[in-house]
Structure 1
C-alpha cells in the first residue's frame, strides 16, 4: 500500500502569511515603544539618583557649617561653591568656572555606581552617557550672602542611546547640546542644585 503525501494548499499558505503579517504589524510598534519607555525610565532613574546625591552633599555642607569648600560624601571629597553649597567637582569651587571634567567629576563622585560615561568629544560606543558643560546656560541664582551670581554653567549628561555616533570614531555627531534633536538626558545646575531630565523628541 502506497501512502500519499499531502501538503498545504496555496490558499492555506496565503492565509497564514496574511495572519503573520497582521500580527507583525501590530507587535512591532509595541516593541519600539518598549525600547523608548526603557530609555526614558533609565534617564529618569539617573536624574532621581543625581538629585538625591546633590541633596546629600548640600545637607552635609549645612551640617558642616555652610562655609567649607568641600564635604566628604561616602569617603570621597566633593568640592562646592560656598555661595550655594552644591557639588562642583573635585577641585573646582565656582559655579561659573565649571568644565567638562568637573561636570564628569560631579557625576562620578556623587552618584554611587555612576553609569559609564565619557566626555562628549570622546568615543562613546561602550558608554551610557556623555558629559558636557554648557557655559553660562544655567542662568542666574542668589547665593546665601544675598548676591546674585550670573552666567552659571550647566552640566549636561546625554544618554548615548539617544545620540547618533560616528561609525568610525564613536564620537557623537553632531556635537550634542541642549537642542540636539532626539536626544535624552539629564541637566544639573550647580548654582540651584536643580536636576532635570529632558527629551528632545
Structure 2
C-alpha cells in the first residue's frame, strides 16, 4: 500500500486560522511607528538645538561676549547672554536646515523669550502638544541659561 504525503484541507485551514489570530494580536504593536518616528524626530531636533546653543556659547565665550545681554552677534547669530536669541532667524543661522524643515512659532510674542518648533504643516492644535520649546537665556548664571524642552503628549 502506498502512503500518501501532504496535508489535508482541514489542517491547512487550521494553520491559516492560527496565523490570522497571531496577526490580529501582533499588528497593533507594529502599527504605532508613525508616533514613534515623530517623537524621535523631536528628540533629534532637541539635540540639534542644544548642540548649536553650546557651540554658539563657546564662540561667544572666545569673543568675550558671553556675559552680555542682547544686542551682540557671533557669526550671524544674535545672542542673549552668549546663547542664541529665541527667534527663528537666530536659531536658523545656528542650525542648518532648521527654517526649511520645521515650522517656528512664538509662544509669547510680548516677552519674545520662547519659541516652539514643530513639523511643517502642523495645525494649531497639534502644535500645542507636539513641539520642541526653546527658551533663551535670561541671565549670566547657569540656572538662567538657555533651555530646550520637548512636549510629545499629542504626537
**In the alignment, what sits opposite 1:153?**
113
The aligned length equals 138
**Structure 1 Cα separation of the partners of residues 52 and 90 of structure 2:** 10
Q: What is the TM-score of this pair, normalised by structure 2? A: 0.70
1:194 match: 147
* Partner-residue secondary structure (3-state), 1:200: coil
Bigger relative CO (Cα 8 Å, ≥ 6 apart): 2
Distance 1:19 1:116, change over 3 A: farther
Unaligned residue ranges in structure 1 (runs of 5+): 1-5, 89-94, 96-101, 118-128, 138-150, 161-170
CA apart distance, 1:85:
2.2
Q: Is 1:172 aligned with 2:132?
A: no
Matched, 1:70 2:73: yes
- Normalized per residue, the structure richer in helix is 2
- Structure 2 portions without partners, runs of 5+: 1-5, 138-144
Partner of 2:108: 135
Distance in 1 (alpha carbons) for counterparts of 2:44 and 2:122: 23
Q: Residue 79 of structure 1 aligns to a residue in which SS?
A: strand
Give how far 1:45 is off: 1.5
TM-score for both structures, normalised by structure 1 = 0.56
Q: CA separation in 2, counterparts of 1:31 and 1:106?
A: 39
SS of corresponding position for 2:123 = coil
Post-superposition shift, 1:14?
3.5
Bigger CA radius of gyration? 2
